[in-house]
């Protein structure tokens, strides 16, 4: 089956995360019934495949990846500022433009089962809006197979890269979906002023926020407090993400508790790429009412040489880092790239249920726990009712 050319098609013999076995009807772009296929209706055998909702890649950089380029040895930098500079050296060495490199990553993400992706685009005085424009072109090109949200990301800082504040506004006017930020203290050395610019722009353009925060320990938690305050001040609850927030894994329980409470009260989501060392404590955040979701972050780029765009394998890594072993915990790891991500990204109409968009991925696994513990190589991916990757 290389395409769906009938209005209605039953996939027969699927397993579902709740343990049910049933057939699923694709009715145009949507899911019809889930139950027993109508006798005589067009159908395909999908016995032994587990049906999971379309996966969500919560954090990538389509402009940064070197996927498909010749091997680029990592250039070691001693500080974040130095590594920002070295990234430009490394990117100048590859010939393929962002639209080519980013397209490779988008293709792989789709093949691995992603139906939605949030990507950051570097914005600064040197790049101008070039990376953003390339990502917007990718967003259009992949619109029928992958929904891409683009964050205008001030990778060189805002205050220390003059003109970036104006560029952020220009980026939103050009079509960015969210405004980003970066280490308000660690990079720009003025957390309040940095965040005021970010939230002013978000407020002016009615857009959400996704801030990279690597600042450590108490400093990072202080900044999370500021972000929570500013989010409430402009009524942006539910539309703000802080990416990484290693600090949440580095502080004493009292500071953690106070910070998690502020995040929950302001509806701020935390994105993690499952780093080694200081990963935010996922369970404790969830118990405090904070939405936590996962993303791949750097995929074979100037920041890190790892990764291939498989967001399911990133959920495996998140589960491993958090010491998850039970089926329930492995299920929660899947939530990090499905339901929790959908909430963080504001996706309406998400999930495998009658009437919802026919966006899902089929894998050879008995249970979600098995799929997360050992991501199966084969993926059969549907988006808008069409088979977009794999074969059935």
Q: Can you give the binding site for its own copies, defined by CB under 8 A?
A: 70-71, 73-74, 76, 276-277, 279, 300, 304-308, 316, 319-323, 325-327, 330, 365-367, 369-370, 373-374, 377
Smallest separation (angstroms) from its own copies to the CB of 304: 6
CB closer to its own copies, 2 vs 276: 276
CA distance 342 to 53: 10
CB closer to its own copies, 264 vs 284: 284
CB closer to its own copies, 8 vs 72: 72
Annotate 36-66 with three-state secondary structure.
CCCCCCCEEECCCEEEEECEEEEEECCCCCC
Smallest separation (angstroms) from its own copies to the CB of 325: 4
Smallest separation (angstroms) from its own copies to the CB of 275: 9
Smallest separation (angstroms) from its own copies to the CB of 373: 4
- Residue 121: in which H helix or E strand, if any? strand 114-122
Distance linking the first and last C-alpha atoms of the chain: 6
Smallest separation (angstroms) from its own copies to the CB of 370: 5
CB closer to its own copies, 68 vs 128: 68
Give 184's DSSP letter.
T
Smallest separation (angstroms) from its own copies to the CB of 313: 10
Q: Are 180 and 120 in contact (CB under 8 A)?
A: yes
Query: Residue 198 to residues 150, 184, 281: CA-CA distances in angstroms?
Result: 15, 10, 26
Of the candidates 301, 309, 307, the residue with the CA atom closest to the CA atom of residue 72: 301
CB closer to its own copies, 131 vs 321: 321
CB closer to its own copies, 317 vs 345: 317
CB closer to its own copies, 196 vs 370: 370
Smallest separation (angstroms) from its own copies to the CB of 294: 15
Give 248's DSSP letter.
G
Report the DSSP pairing between strands 8-15 and 43-45: parallel
Collapsing DSSP states into helix, strand and coil, what is residue 307?
coil
Residues whose CB is less than 8 angstroms from the CB of residue 136 and which lie 6 or more positions away in sequence, other chains included = 150, 174, 175, 176
Count Cβ atoms within 10 A of the Cβ of residue 253 and give its class: 0-12 exposed, 13-18 middle, 19 or more buried: exposed
């Amino acid at each position: 089956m290389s395409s769906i050319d009938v209005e209605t098609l039953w996939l027969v013999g699927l397993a579902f995360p709740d343990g049910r076995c049933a057939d699923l009807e694709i009715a145009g772009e949507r899911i019809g019934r889930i139950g027993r296929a109508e006798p005589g209706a067009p159908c395909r055998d999908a016995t032994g495949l587990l049906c999971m909702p379309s996966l969500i890649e919560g954090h990538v950089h389509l402009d940064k990846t070197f996927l498909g380029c010749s091997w680029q040895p990592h250039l070691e930098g001693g500080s974040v500022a130095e590594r920002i500079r070295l990234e430009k050296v490394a990117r100048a060495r590859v010939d393929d433009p962002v639209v080519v490199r980013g397209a490779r990553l988008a293709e792989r993400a789709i093949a691995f089962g992603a139906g939605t992706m949030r990507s950051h685009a570097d914005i600064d005085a040197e790049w101008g809006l070039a990376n953003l424009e390339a990502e917007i072109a990718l967003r259009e090109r992949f619109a029928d197979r992958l929904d891409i949200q683009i964050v205008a990301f001030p990778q060189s800082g805002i205050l220390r890269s003059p003109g970036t504040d104006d560029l952020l506004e220009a980026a939103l006017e050009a079509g960015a979906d969210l405004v980003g930020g970066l280490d308000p203290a660690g990079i720009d050395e003025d957390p309040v002023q940095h965040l005021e610019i970010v939230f002013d722009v978000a407020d002016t353009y009615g857009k959400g926020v996704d801030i990279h925060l690597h600042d450590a320990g108490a400093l990072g938690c202080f900044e999370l407090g500021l972000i929570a305050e500013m989010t409430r001040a402009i009524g942006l609850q539910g539309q703000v993400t802080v990416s990484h927030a290693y600090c949440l894994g580095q502080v004493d329980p009292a500071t953690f508790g106070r910070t998690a409470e502020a995040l929950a009260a302001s509806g701020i989501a935390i994105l993690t790429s499952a780093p080694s060392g200081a990963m935010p404590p996922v369970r404790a955040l969830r118990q405090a009412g904070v939405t936590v979701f996962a993303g791949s972050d750097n995929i074979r780029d100037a920041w890190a040489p790892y990764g291939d765009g498989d967001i399911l394998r990133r959920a495996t890594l998140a589960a491993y880092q958090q010491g998850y072993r039970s089926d329930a915990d492995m299920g929660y790891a899947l939530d990090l790239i499905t339901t929790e991500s959908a909430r963080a990204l504001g996706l309406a109409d998400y999930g495998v249920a009658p009437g919802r968009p026919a966006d899902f991925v089929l894998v050879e696994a008995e249970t979600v726990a098995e799929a997360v513990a050992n991501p199966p190589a084969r993926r059969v991916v549907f988006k808008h009712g069409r088979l977009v990757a794999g074969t059935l």
